[in-house]
A and B are shown apart, each in its own frame.
Chain A
């Protein structure tokens, strides 16, 4: 079974803080993704990575950065958290190749920025 874990289920931070969200997958997947989920908006892609040290912007990268130093780990960084970044953050991973579009998700991190 694919297992994707995220470092925290719930997180409360203050405006201006630097925030790290960690995601780890144990299935040797090449591709990893960060989404945010907001009511009425569904899931929106922030960043994705198709290899170590490689990253691509998604639909809403502003205010975020990412890091992928190891294949199994993909970090989302909020350099200076703002209240409009209060959201549910979901990490996903997928194989490369023919099944690259089947993504497996972690449990999510509900971030509140005060």
Chain B
């Protein structure tokens, strides 16, 4: 079973629009961690955020914000006033405390294209 589902394969928005990338996860652990990574065309995955399962506070960092809802097992990522530099593939990932093996389960990614 897929532990992390990113149902949106590709999204295109016009510059300055807001966009939300969805992430739904599945775990039986009570302690787990959720992540978002950005992969620009250069290929390197850039770490954006880590959130533990006990902290449901939403987080905002500049134009980026994350909405963590345990009730729906979702960890969605919103980019406000999108820019062309936001064009990338975005991955959501899950790490379970029980795994103990430093394993990150990745979703299949969402390709975001911001059109100027």
Contacts and interface: CB of A to CB of B under 8 A. Distances in A.
Interface size class on chain A is 20 to 34
Interface of A: 9, 31, 33, 40-43, 45, 48, 50, 56, 58, 88, 90, 92, 94, 99-108, 110
A101 B45 contact: no
Interface residues of B, number: 20
Nearest to A94: B102
Contact of A107 (B35, B43, B106, B108): B43
B61 to A, nearest CB: 16
A110 B43 CA distance: 9
A104 B102 contact: no
Given A48-B102, A56-B101, A90 B107 contact: no
Contacts of B91: 42-43
A57 B102 CA distance: 12
